[in-house]
Amino acid sequence: MTSVKTAALVPACNEGPRLAGVLEIITSSSLIDETIVIDDGSVDQTSQVASAFPVKVLRWEKNRGKGAALQAGLEEIPYAARYLFLDADLVNLQNEHLEMLLSPLAEPHPPAMTVGIFRHGQKKNVNLAQHYFSILNGQRALSRDFVDILPDLGWSRFGVEILLSRYAGLAQKNVYYPELRGLTHATKEEKMGLYRGFLYRLQMYRECLFALANYKKMIKLYPGKVPSEIFSRI
């Protein structure tokens, strides 16, 4: 049973100054049927900004991490045909970017997931990171069939993208990488200052490395809906 064709999930923590620009595009798009913003323990105006738009807001008092936020969004709208994951700090998001992420899932032989890669954005360092570390890219569209076999994402925090990409490999699913021209995002140093931003970036890298080193073990601990045949490959 599918009641929502396309659901957009936007995890956000202290993104009040940036969130409105992202939601303006999402909520104006005919491609999106329902949007959930997961306020992951913000201490700023993130929830208030989100509430000004026609979206559902899930608000947590304490930070649980990006993986838990996306897991909550999937559980809140369990019967969508496809899911769009978008970061809350995107800069220059356009409707064409949403279409590039979603349209491959409507093809006759669709991939299980698309992973957007920034091209020709305003920040060369972000473009390079997106090119060489596409496994970390947060702009993704997932098919219903892929979501139906996902492990639980709740443990993964900033390692959620690594988990999704590695799991697609384990499940032998095709992934498509559309180029999102002109799109970029605010860096942690821009949002938090050089020192705090650098420390937060180190935290992100630690969580990503943990996911990379332990994703197979964690899938076994938190299998979610993983089919038995995929366990034989872990």
Whether 14 and 43 have beta carbons less than 8 Å apart is answered as yes
Going by pLDDT thresholds of 50, 70 and 90, the confidence category of residue 126 is low
Number of structural domains, the chain?
A: 1
Distance CA 174, CA 92 (A): 28
The identity of residue 62, as a single letter, is: K
Q: Amino acid identity, residue 86?
A: L
**What share of the chain in percent tops pLDDT 70?**
92
Compute the average pLDDT of residues 181-202. 90
Write the pLDDT tens digit of every residue in 156-185. 999 999 999 999 999 999 999 999 999 998
- List strand residue ranges (DSSP E) for the chain, in order: 4-12, 34-40, 56-60, 80-85, 90-91, 113-115, 117-119, 140-143, 175-176, 179-181, 184-185
d(CA 146, CA 134): 19
Does the pLDDT at position 142 exceed 80?
yes
Whether 1 shows a pLDDT value over 70: the answer reads: no
**Domain hosting residue 208, numbered range:** 4-231
Pair 197, 191: CB distance under 8 Å: yes
At 233 the pLDDT is: 87
What confidence tens digit (pLDDT) does each residue in 3-18 have? Answer: 669 999 999 999 999 9
Q: Which residues contact 190 (CB under 8 A, 6 or more apart)?
A: 197
Instruction: Say what the pTM is.
Output: 0.93
Cα separations in angstroms, 192 against 4, 6, 211 = 36, 33, 24
Q: Where are the alpha helices (DSSP H) in 85-193?
A: 95-102, 124-132, 144-147, 160-170, 188-192
Q: Give the Å distances, CA to CA, from 114 to 89, 99, 122.
A: 19, 11, 23
Task: Specify the CATH number for the domain of residue 30.
Answer: 3.90.550.10
Cα separation, 21 vs 94, whole angstroms: 10
Q: Among candidates 65, 156, 141, which has minimal Cα distance to 102?
A: 141
